Amino acid sequence: MTLKEYLLRLVDNMPLLEKLREYWAIRRAARALEEWKSDPSTARPWREVFTEMGVNVSDE
């Protein structure tokens, strides 16, 4: 497979890539929630978790 064919295949699978990114963002959020439930004092701030998920967390 040439580089061009590989890149075209990636572009064709963009909806799949978006779903995978969404899936992993949900997994990261679930891990952060479990971490918070087990020991809130050591959990990452929610702002950091939401930013990692791509959620706008501006204070407006």
Range 19-35 average pLDDT: 82
Q: What is the pLDDT of residues 35-57, one digit of tens each?
A: 878 887 777 777 777 777 777 77
Range 24-42 average pLDDT: 81
Range 12-17 average pLDDT: 78
What is the rounded CA–CA span in Å between residue 21 and residue 3? Answer: 23
Q: What are the sequence ranges of the domains in the chain?
A: 3-53
pTM exceeds 0.85 for this model: no
- The tokens describing 45, both together, are 């701030």
